[in-house]
Amino acid sequence: NAGVMQNPRHLVRRRGQEARLRCSPMKGHSHVYWYRQLPEEGLKFMVYLQKENIIDESGMPKERFSAEFPKEGPSILRIQQVVRGDSAAYFCASSPREGRGDIQYFGAGTRLSVL
Amino acid sequence: DQQVKQNSPSLSVQEGRISILNCDYTNSMFDYFLWYKKYPAEGPTFLISISSIKDKNEDGRFTVFLNKSAKHLSLHIVPSQPGDSAVYFCAASAIKAAGNKLTFGGGTRVLVKP
């Protein structure tokens, strides 16, 4: 029973390029969350998605960032025109359903480095 | 505005002794609290959780205590083992928040000395 899968594990981009981060939730999970962790800080919520729907994007920057979770395939976090400040670890988590008490299971993360 | 705070960035403890990690929160709407453990280059791993209707939850070597009036929770690990050396994050969610998004503290790095 595979856990949350994220790829790539490491991603290097130059300023101005695009970064695409992928997340496949655990089998049977239809809720996906993206978090960002800056060095020496805690994780910060970015966006919550269900299949084909963005439920809460209150933590995501208004510009350059977008997320999707299509009917088929993984969830994608897309960062356009990356800047050095985007360098961070991006974690995806999934849960089986919405509701209090549902544990979020995390992937190993994608470490983005912007040169 | 940091709604969840872990004021001790690091903790060193001898193997076999108790580790006590603390967490404070400011948002009175939070009603569900979790502790995650994180090793370098890995994702957070769920440890234990507690609902606001309880004041204690125990699972093996891990016990979480919640003091709602003080907006404070703590994680006790006893006995501590070298494999417990990791960063521990406290997280909270609010009853009316859509989708159960988690607000994390800054983490406490625990080192268990053999």
The string of pLDDT tens digits covering residues B20-36 is 999 999 999 898 999 99
- Lowest mean pLDDT segment, chosen from B4-8, B11-15, B92-96: B92-96
Residue A38 DSSP class: -
In 3D space, the residue among B12, B21, B17 whose CA is nearest the CA of residue B107 turns out to be B21
- Burial readout B39-53 (b: 16 or more C-beta within 10 A, e: otherwise): eeeebbeebbbbebe
pLDDT above 60 (res A100): no
pLDDT value, residue B74: 98
For chain B, helix, strand, coil in percent to 5 are 5, 55, 40
Joined together, the tokens standing for residue B84 give 């417990």
pLDDT value, residue B67: 97
Handedness of CA B88, B92, B97, B100 (dihedral sign): positive
Average pLDDT taken over every residue of chain A:
92
pLDDT value, residue A51: 87
At B35-89, the pLDDT tens digits run 999 999 899 999 999 999 999 999 999 999 999 999 999 999 999 999 999 999 9
pLDDT above 90 (res B102): yes
pLDDT value, residue A102: 74
What is d(CA B96, CA B94) in angstroms, rounded to the nearest whole number?
A: 6
pLDDT value, residue A99: 55
B98 touches chain A (CB under 8 A): yes
Residue A9 DSSP class: S
In 3D space, the residue among B80, B49, B84 whose CA is nearest the CA of residue B63 turns out to be B49
pLDDT value, residue A101: 59
- Lowest mean pLDDT segment, chosen from A89-98, B72-81, B91-100: B91-100
Query: B109: which strand partners?
Result: B10, B87
A38 near A88, Cβ under 8 Å?
yes
Residue A95 DSSP class: E
Q: What is the mean pLDDT of residues B103-114?
A: 95
Q: What is the mean pLDDT of residues A73-90?
A: 96
With contacts defined as CB-CB under 8 Å, which chain A residues touch B51? 100-101
Q: Give the minimum alpha-carbon distance from B103 to chain A in angstroms, rounded to a whole number.
A: 7
pLDDT above 70 (res B95): no
With contacts defined as CB-CB under 8 Å, which chain A residues touch B98? 48, 55-56, 98
In 3D space, the residue among A65, A84, A62, A88 whose CA is nearest the CA of residue A76 turns out to be A65
